[in-house]
Structure 1
């Protein structure tokens, strides 16, 4: 679904690489999962939930533009419809980028 939109997809969580490999295999994920065991990436994206000894990465999705800015953020993720929602947003963002005159970029 996202492959035809010229977008790279990665997943990031606090879990270790072995856990990621098992999860990706079980769910046949077509994208890589990156391990963030110290939570630095999650914290940088305001997605780290710290409860004393327990830490969790919130399930957020970000669309990061080619220039590095966050073009869209999804704080509520419904697994049943999320891929379609992200694809729709990507199409809209890509359509806007194509319509912007080069001098205005």
Structure 2
């Protein structure tokens, strides 16, 4: 797994799209880390599966942290090896306000060193992990779980985001 102080690997992935009013669109958008970092820091939330109960808790916990104020100060991406079509339905059911990106071949998870050989009899899926990346592309927070049921300490992540100056 990447450590604090490492340079975050660049990526471009397809993901769920929303219009300017926050409504789901039927098309697929493309997201790159470098483009997002031009505007603000980025929080990457790797998770195992869209509809797994522990993943639902993880992704929805992130969505429900209104005190986190992520929409204004930090770009949030959820990333798993599920398809964009599965992501779209999951985001719709959970009314998620941030894009879910499809790392269908696991290459991005591998570049962050969080690609698991096997979880729940599925091969090559992302481990639950969180990376907070500053605008220079440096990892400022890194966490990874041993099992899908583990959750990050959102208070620690909030503390790490407080170190960023407003953009």
Unaligned runs of 5+ in 1: 99-105
Match of 2:112 in 1: 45
Q: Which has the larger radius of gyration?
A: 1
CA distance, structure 1, for counterparts of residue 109 and residue 129 of structure 2: 10
Higher relative contact order (CA 8 A, sep 6+): 2
Q: Which of residues 79, 103, 106 is equivalent to 1:36?
A: 103
Q: Distance in 2 between matches of 1:27 and 1:53?
A: 23
TM-score by length of 1: 0.75
Question: Whose strand proportion is higher, 1 or 2?
Answer: 2
Aligned residues: 93
Match of 1:55 among 120, 124, 132: 124
Deviation at 1:5, TM superposition (A): 5.7
- Please report the RMSD computed on the Cα atoms of aligned residues, expressed in angstroms: 2.5
5+ residue gaps in structure 2?
1-67
1:6 and 2:73 matched: yes
For the pair 1:78 / 2:147, whether they are aligned, the reply is: no
* Structure that is richer in helix per residue: 1
**TM-score of the aligned structures, taking structure 2 as reference length:** 0.49
